[in-house]
Chains A and B, each alone.
Chain A
Amino acid sequence: MTPLAITDYTLTTCLGAGRAANWDKIERGETGLKPCDFFDISDLSTWIGEVAGVDQQALPASLAAYNCRNNRLAWLALQQDGFLDNAVRAIESYGADRVGVFIGTSTSGIHQTELAYLAARNQLPDWYHYRSTHNVFSVADFVQQALGARGPCIAISTACSSSAKVFASAYRAMATGLCDAAIVGGVDSLCLTTLYGFHSLQLVSPDKCKPFDRERSGISIGEAGGFALLEKTEDARLMLLGYGESGDAYHMSSPHPEGEGALQAMQTALAKAGLASDSIDYINLHGTGTMANDAAESKAVAQLFGERTWASSTKGWTGHTLGAAGIVEAAFGLLSITHNLVPASLHLQQPDPDMHIALPRAAVQQPVRKVLSNSFGFGGSNCSLVLGERV
């Protein structure tokens, strides 16, 4: 495929707001996870990745109806690294109707509905606006209006692959001429539904998540927002080189045990990029910290890369940010290229002996030109991205 330039990007996670704050914690090896104290929860023994200052965010007055935790997080994330200004400039230069907005989210503003039910579950309160807060599309609508774009606009919601798949949809929309540039991103925020829901599936770790460790015991749930600006510019160091999407055709909440769907997504992404697996310098793994995901993913990665390519999960820092994981981990991949540093797989103490992949327990300083980023979701929805310098 013809690569697309990533001319700007930003991320906000529990590590901090913006690229520098996030990368600083990666370099120091400091997690952003803490024991769960979200909302009024007292009965869940788990760790969370909460973004600081979300509730202090005030949305633009004209978008007051969008006020909910998820859109406050979107607004906080948009303002980092000068992204908002650069996006607005791009929209002015291309024309508003030529810029698309593609946002991934898993639960959008569902916490607002949880609050409305807790307040009055028989007749929902007047302050509750379903359309502009909870609805899956609310965050895409909010971002589009906050930036002033008027091109194609969708929310993609394929659970934990959502904000990786935005790159594929944006590429296609630009290739068919629906738009000339795209703002892609993902935002997901803490809520009772995911904290209690993943708990009911016994997928939540009582400890900080430890991806690929022999004693890993599940995920830590995080929240995050991130965005990227995609343009057709010919030369940029940071480009979208390939994407691959696949289904597992296996189970609603467990990955294919041999990682067959994951393998297909990675192979397709490499094929679209026109690259062999040995061109990849770093793999940002989905690496959630569940027994099933890490076992399946390592099998698929081992088949393509063996132990030749450094592969780590950054979820030990941020937790699993669900619908935002794709954009957050794409951003870590881009930062890895900029800083020529492979992040460690944080909290990995004793690698599972069945994992035949190259898991770094400490950061590795080396040239990083091309990165593969994996995102896999419930329903067997897989997406891999290849990012880096033009081939």
Chain B
Amino acid sequence: MKIFIDAVGLAAPGLSSWTEALPVLRGEQAYEAQELDRYKPEQLPANERRRATDLVRMAFRVCEDLLRDNPVSIRRCAAVFASSGGDYPIIDQICKALCEPERLVSPTQFHNSVHNSAAGYWSIATGSRAPSTSISAFDDTFAAGLLEAASLCAIEQLPTILAVYDIKPPEPLQSKRPITLDFGVAFLLSPVESTRSLAQLTLTPAALAAGTPAQVEALEAMRLSNPAARSLPLLELIARRQAGQLLLDANNNPTTIVEVTPCP
């Protein structure tokens, strides 16, 4: 399967946007961990913005970063929102409320608890009625999201946004799901090459093999600490405009070979 990447959005500690992260991903500047500020989604109406959780803010942050320098017709874009566990803080708050005798669940927290909350807010913000889906494949979520989005893009012939993100679970969930840092990434996929295209991806399933590590040593620990960060080796190749092949390993999915060819 062949598709084109037209734009990238990124947010992680010390990698506050795709543009800001380029020197680090290219190995030109040392990585420095720095916590992300709380993000204010630009496209959300004020009412929805007030209700938007940290997870929804992360999804918007990377989607809006991707759109910053790309005048695409967003209402035409299909979307795949992929998160291994969804909104851990909201799940924690609801489960705590259910321990109280009154069991008062907040209606806003309840509608924010659905796995497709970011997709819903995104559709409201952009006015897009294009197909969108929300998935999880636990630690395979990046590879599975990429295959899902590439299939959607290729079969429906629609530009497709893939957003992959996970945020740190609060305690006590953190002890059972140890994700130690927030990470979000977004790609704008296109079925055809254009002047905006950054790289062509060819995706092929393969037999079991180990995943390709990050080239920047300081980013390899990050790659393993959040399922969305499994995207880092791909981000490095795109940032460096480097041709190459990498393996996305998986537990429940076939290993995916990703062949990256920079576009002129």
Contact = CB atoms under 8 A, between A and B. Distances in A.
B155 A200 contact: no
Interface in B244-258: 252-254
A137 B151 contact: no
B41 to A, nearest CB: 14
Contacts of B154: 172, 176
Interface residues of B, number: 63
A130 B103 CA distance: 22
Interface string A96-135: 0100000000100010011001100111100011110001
Interface stretch (A17-25, A153-161, A310-318, A352-360): A153-161
B138 A135 contact: yes
Contacts of B95: 113-114, 117, 121, 193
A141 interface: yes
A176 B119 CA distance: 24
Contact of B86 (A136, A141, A152, A198): A136
Given A156-B135, A245-B133, A249-B127, A121 B107 contact: no
Given A153-B253, A252-B121, A378 B114 contact: yes
Contacts of A43: 103
A257 B175 CA distance: 43
Interface of A: 43, 97, 106, 110, 113-114, 117-118, 121-124, 128-131, 135-138, 140-141, 144, 150-159, 165, 168-169, 171-173, 175-178, 192-193, 196-201, 245-253, 260-261, 264, 377-381
Nearest to B252: A153
Nearest to A261: B129
A200 to B, nearest CB: 4
16 contacts: A123-B175, A151-B253, A151-B254, A154-B144, A155-B136, A158-B134, A173-B151, A192-B98, A200-B104, A201-B110, A249-B127, A252-B121, A378-B116, A380-B120, A380-B124, A381-B116
Given A110-B91, A246-B129, A252-B124, A176 B150 contact: yes
A156 B124 contact: no
B138 to A, nearest CB: 4
Contacts of B133: 156, 158, 165, 168-169, 245
Which A-B residue pairs are the 5 nearest by beta carbons? Answer: A379-B120, A157-B115, A197-B110, A247-B123, A245-B131
Contacts of A165: 133
Nearest to B207: A97
B137 A153 contact: yes
Nearest to B141: A137
B148 interface: yes
A250 B84 CA distance: 26
A117 B98 contact: yes
A158 B98 contact: no
Name the residue in A122, A171, A246 with the highest tally of chain B Cβ atoms < 10 Å from its Cβ.
A246
Contacts of B131: 168, 245-247
Interface of B: 1, 48, 51, 84-86, 91, 94-96, 98-99, 103-107, 110-117, 119-121, 123-124, 126-138, 140-141, 144, 147-148, 150-152, 154-156, 172-173, 175-177, 205, 252-254
A118 B138 contact: no
A379 B105 contact: no
Contacts of A157: 86, 114-116, 134-136
A152 B254 contact: yes
B138 A141 contact: yes
A252 B111 contact: yes
Contacts of A192: 98, 103
Contacts of B96: 117, 121
A67 B241 CA distance: 47
A106 B176 CA distance: 21
A193 B138 CA distance: 21
B253 A152 contact: yes
A121 B105 contact: no
Name the residue in A97, A152, A380 with the highest tally of chain B Cβ atoms < 10 Å from its Cβ.
A152
Contacts of A201: 107, 110-111
Given A128-B176, A200-B104, A253 B111 contact: yes
A176 B256 CA distance: 14
A172 B151 contact: yes
Contacts of A97: 205, 254
Contacts of A154: 135-137, 144, 148
Nearest to A243: B131
Contacts of B111: 201, 252-253, 378-379
A249 B126 contact: yes
Contact of B124 (A114, A136, A150, A250): A250
Contact of B147 (A128, A152, A249, A379): A152
